Amino acid sequence: MTGNRAAAPEGAVRTTVDWQGWTACVAAVAGFVLCLLGWLAGGGGFSVPWAPSLDLRLSFTFDGLSALYGLLATGVGALVFAYGTRYLTEHLEHQRRPMLERWRFWPWMLLFALSMVGLATAQDLVLVFVFFDLTAVCSYFLIGFDRSDREARTSALMAMLVTVVAAVAMLIAAVVLYAVHGTFSIPELLARADSSATTTLAGALLAVAALAKSAQVPLHFWLPKAMAAPTPVSAYLHSAAMVAAGVLVIGRVHPLLARSEAVLTGMLVVGAVSVVVGGVLALRRDRLKQVLAYSTISQYGYIVMMYGIGGKEGTGAAAFYVLAHGVAKSALFMTAGAVTSATGQDRLSELGGLGRRMPVLAVASGVAAATLAALPLTVGFFKDELFFKAALAHGPVTAVLSVLAAVLTFAYIGRFWTTLFLGPPRGEVGTRSGLLVAPVVVMAAVAVAGGVVAEPFTRLAEDAAAVSAGGPVDLSPAYHLDARPENLMALAAWALGVLVLLLPRVTGRVSRAVAVAGERWGPKRAYEVVLHGLDRLSTVLHDREVRDLRTSIAAVLVPAGLLIGLAFAATPTAGAYVVGTVAGADWMILPLLVLVVVTTVVIARSRSRMAVALALAVVGFALAAQYALLGAPDVALVAVVVETMLTLVFVAALSRMPHDEPVPDPAIPLRKRRRKDALSGAVAGLAVFVSVWGFLSQPAPSSVSDEHIRLTPEAHGGDVVTVIVADFRGLDTLVEITVLLAAVAGAATLIRRGKLW
C-alpha cells in the first residue's frame, strides 16, 4: 500500500508492490489454515433454506472430500498467488499495461479459489451447479486476461462454451433426479437412488458435465487452448481449480454413478482414451505450456479411469492421485513460467541446458517431474502404486492400459525436463526472480516429504475416498522391496518409458499423425463448424428480423404463436367443446350474425375506403340489434350511439383527406403479399375461434352477477347494469372517463395542429 502511494507520482511504469495479489495470497493461506483445522476437527456443516418454494437449500458440509479439494485449492492457491504477484507485475510491465489491471486479475483469482472451496463443500446439486459454472465464469475472465490478444479471447470463449454448455447436462440430471426422488440434496439422493434407467441417465449426464470440465476426450480441446492465460492462471487451473472441479463432482456423486455399470465402463473408456490421446500428443509438443496442457488431459484421464474402476481401491487411488498430481503439475507450470520469464522463450526447441544456469529451479522441477513420472522418494511413486493396484484388481486389460499410461507419462515428462535442463545450452538467461522459483521449491519439498512420509497424504485421500466409496477406505501405500506385481509394473513402465524417450523419431511420427488427424477430423473442428454455423444462422435470422416493422413484430409473434400452438396441441381437448342449443330469439340472432360475417368479409375485400366506413357501420348496427335481442338493452343503446358517432367521425375524416386511393407498390408482388396477409389473418382467426369456442364451452359455475342483482335495490337503482357501471364498478368507470378525456384532448390537439385551444 505504502509502496503504491510512494511510486504513484513518479509515473505508472515503476513497479509497485502488488498488494492486491498479496491480499489474495494471505486470504488463501488463511483458507488453508481454516481447511486444515476443519479437517483435523472432523468437519461439520450447516444448511439454510435458499429458495424454499423450489426446495433449494444452501447446504454445506465439510467432509473428507471437501478437505482434500479445499486444501488443494487454498494450498496450491497460496503458492500460485505468491508466484503471481511477481509474474503478473512482469507480465504487465512487459506488455506496457498499467498496474491498475491487477484489479482485473486478482478478484477473479480469489473468486476462483472461493468457488472451488464452495464446490467442494456444497451438498445440494443445484448449488454444486452454481459453483461449477462460477469456476467457468472466472476462468473465462482469467484466460482472456490479455484481452487485446485475439487468441486469448477465442480461447476464453471456447473454455467457457465447452464447459458451460456441458454443465447444462448436470442441471438436467438434477431436475431428473428431483422429479423421481423429490430432493436436490446429494446425501439424500445417494441414499434413495437405486439401479434404474433414470439413475443411469442422471449418472451419465453428470459424468458428461464433469468430464467436459476435466478436459476428457472428446471435449478436451479447450484445455490446450486455455494456455493463452497468464501462467499463474494455467498453473492454478490445471492443478487445483477448473479441471479439478470435474473430478471433484465425480467424486462427490460417485455412489450414484456406481449404481450403473454402464456409466462406470463409459468413464473407464473415456479415461483410457484421454490418457492415450493426451499422452501421445504431449510427446511432441514444442511449447512448454502445451506439453503440460496435454499432460493434464492425460493425467485426469488416469483419475477418471480410477473412478471408472470404482470400488474402494479405485476411489481411494483417484483421491490420492488428485493430490499428488496437483502438487506436481502446479510446480511444473510455475517452472515453465519461470523459464519463459528468464529467457523470453516458450518453446522446447529454443531452450536447453538451463541446469547449470538455473540449478535450484532444475532440481525443484526435477522433483516435480519425478513425482509425475512416479519415481521413488516422491509422493508420485505411491500414486502409481495405488493406480496399478486398482487396475490389477479390475482386470488384465486395465492393467496393460495402466502400464501404457505410465510409460507415456514417463516419456513426455522426461523429454520435458531433460530438454529444458540438460544438453547443450540454448537460450539467453536474463533477470531471474527468486519469487518465481521459491513456490516451485516449496512444492518440490512437499512432494519429497510425501514420498518419505506418506501418512498425511494417505489420511487425506482415505477421508476423501470414504465419501466417494460410501464407506471407510483403507489405503496403505508403502515401499516394498519385493517382486510384487505393482513393482514389476512400475519397473516395466520406467524401462519402456526410457525406450520411448530414446526413440524420438518413431514417437514423433506417431504423435504428429495423431495431431494432424485431430486437427482435421477432431472435435475442435466440429466445435468451430458448429460455432460458425450458429453465427451464420443468427446473422440470417437477425437480418430477416430487422428488415422492417412487420418482420420485427413477426419475429416475436410467430415463435410465441408456435409455442402456444404446441401447448394447445399437448392439451387434451376431448369433450371440451360444446355446440350449444338454438332456441327462441336465437332464430332472429342467427341471421344478424350471418349479416355481420358477410359484411366483415366485404370490409376485408373492399377497394374503396368509403365502402369500408359504411360496411363498418353495418357491422356495428347489426351487432347492436343482436345485443338488444340478447336482453342487453343498455349495451344496444350505447352501441347505436357509438356506431352513429363513429360512422360520422369516419366519414368526416375521409372527407377531409386527400382523395387518392393507395396504388400498389410495384416493388412487391401484390398477390403474394395479399396471400401472406390472408394467411396471417386466417391463422389469427383460427386461434381466436379455438380459444373463444373453448372458453364459451366451459362456463363458470357461478358469478358475482347474482350478488349484484340482489344488491341493486339497496343501491337505489332499478337497472342492474347501470348500477354496476355507476356504483359497484364505479372506479372502472372513473378510469374510463379519464381515458375518454385524454383521447378527446389528443384528438382535438391533432386536429388543431398542436394547439388544444
Partner 1 sequence: MILAFALVAAVLFGSGAYLLLKRDLIRMVAGIMLISQCAVVTLLASSLTRGQAAIAVRPGDQVSDPLPQALALTALVIGLATVAMLLALVHRAIVVFRTAEQDEIAATESEHEAKLEQERQADREEVEGSPEDEEEPETARDAGRSR
Give the containing element (helix H, strand E) for 552.
helix 549-570
Choose which of 9, 11, 631, 666 interacts with partner 1 (CB under 8 A). 631
Choose which of 567, 569, 579, 731 interacts with partner 1 (CB under 8 A). 579
Interatomic CA distance for residues 368 and 336, integer angstroms: 12
For partner 1, give the closer residue by CB, 271 or 620.
620
Choose which of 596, 618, 621, 625 interacts with partner 1 (CB under 8 A). 596
Choose which of 425, 586, 588, 675 interacts with partner 1 (CB under 8 A). 586
Residue 17 CB, nearest approach to partner 1 (Å): 30
Residues from 432 through 471 that contact partner 1 (CB under 8 A): none
Interatomic CA distance for residues 515 and 221, integer angstroms: 11
For partner 1, give the closer residue by CB, 416 or 627.
627
Residue 558's CB is within 10 A of a number of other CB atoms, namely: 13
Interatomic CA distance for residues 660 and 675, integer angstroms: 24
For partner 1, give the closer residue by CB, 433 or 733.
733
Interatomic CA distance for residues 43 and 310, integer angstroms: 25
Residue 127 CB, nearest approach to partner 1 (Å): 39
Residue 741 CB, nearest approach to partner 1 (Å): 9
Residue 92 CB, nearest approach to partner 1 (Å): 17
For partner 1, give the closer residue by CB, 471 or 633.
633
Site of grid cell 487396475: 391
User: Is 556 an interacting residue with respect to partner 1 (CB under 8 A)?
Assistant: no
Interatomic CA distance for residues 310 and 319, integer angstroms: 11
Residues from 697 through 736 that contact partner 1 (CB under 8 A): 697, 699-700, 702-705, 708-709, 712, 718-721, 724-725, 729, 732-733, 736
Choose which of 49, 502, 649, 675 interacts with partner 1 (CB under 8 A). 649
Given the rule CB under 8 A, which of 12-20, 437-445, 531-539, 613-621 is the region that contacts partner 1?
A: 613-621
Interatomic CA distance for residues 13 and 93, integer angstroms: 7
User: Is 739 an interacting residue with respect to partner 1 (CB under 8 A)?
Assistant: yes
User: Is 474 an interacting residue with respect to partner 1 (CB under 8 A)?
Assistant: no
For partner 1, give the closer residue by CB, 262 or 751.
751
Q: Total residues contacting partner 1 (rule CB under 8 A)?
A: 94
Choose which of 176, 654, 711, 715 interacts with partner 1 (CB under 8 A). 654
Residue 349 CB, nearest approach to partner 1 (Å): 24
Say which residues have a Cβ less than 8 Å from residue 67's Cβ, sequence separation at least 6: 35, 38, 39, 43, 460, 463, 464
Residues from 245 through 304 that contact partner 1 (CB under 8 A): none
Please compute, for residue 542, the number of CA atoms within 13 A of its CA located in the half-sphere on the CB side. 6
Choose which of 272, 620, 621, 625 interacts with partner 1 (CB under 8 A). 620
Residues present in the chain in total = 757
Angstrom CA distances, 474 to 264, 378, 464, 603, stand at 22, 21, 11, 87
User: Is 688 an interacting residue with respect to partner 1 (CB under 8 A)?
Assistant: yes
Tell me which residue of 152, 114, 116 sits closest to 27, measured CA to CA.
Answer: 114
Choose which of 130, 612, 711, 715 interacts with partner 1 (CB under 8 A). 612
Residue 132 CB, nearest approach to partner 1 (Å): 32
Given the rule CB under 8 A, which of 183-191, 200-208, 210-218, 693-701 is the region that contacts partner 1?
A: 693-701
Residues from 134 through 193 that contact partner 1 (CB under 8 A): 148-150
Choose which of 549, 574, 734, 756 interacts with partner 1 (CB under 8 A). 549
For partner 1, give the closer residue by CB, 133 or 146.
146
C-alpha grid cell, residue 91: 507480465
Give the containing element (helix H, strand E) for 70.
helix 64-94
Angstrom CA distances, 756 to 646, 647, 724, 740, 747, stand at 22, 24, 34, 16, 9
Q: Give me the residues paired with residue 185 across strands.
A: 124
For partner 1, give the closer residue by CB, 484 or 673.
673
Residue 744 CB, nearest approach to partner 1 (Å): 7
For partner 1, give the closer residue by CB, 197 or 734.
734
Given the rule CB under 8 A, which of 289-297, 405-413, 561-569, 625-633 is the region that contacts partner 1?
A: 625-633
Residue 288 CB, nearest approach to partner 1 (Å): 23
Give the distance between the most distant pair of CA atoms in the chain: 112
Residue 124 CB, nearest approach to partner 1 (Å): 43
Residue 631 CB, nearest approach to partner 1 (Å): 3
For partner 1, give the closer residue by CB, 541 or 576.
576
Interatomic CA distance for residues 677 and 379, integer angstroms: 75
Site of grid cell 483417484: 318
Interatomic CA distance for residues 26 and 43, integer angstroms: 23
Interatomic CA distance for residues 533 and 523, integer angstroms: 15
Angstrom CA distances, 49 to 53, 175, 699, stand at 10, 18, 42
Interatomic CA distance for residues 524 and 518, integer angstroms: 8
For partner 1, give the closer residue by CB, 495 or 709.
709
DSSP string, 469-523: HTS----------S--HHHHHHHHHHHHHHHHHH-HHHHHHHHHHHHHHHHHHSH
User: Is 12 an interacting residue with respect to partner 1 (CB under 8 A)?
Assistant: no
Interatomic CA distance for residues 280 and 278, integer angstroms: 6
Given the rule CB under 8 A, which of 108-116, 202-210, 516-524, 614-622 is the region that contacts partner 1?
A: 614-622
Say which residues have a Cβ less than 8 Å from residue 313's Cβ, sequence separation at least 6: 386, 389, 390, 393
What track of x and - describes contact with partner 1 for positions 656 through 675 (by CB under 8 A)? xxx---x--x----------
For partner 1, give the closer residue by CB, 571 or 703.
703
Cβ-contact 46, 59 below 8 angstroms: yes
For partner 1, give the closer residue by CB, 431 or 702.
702
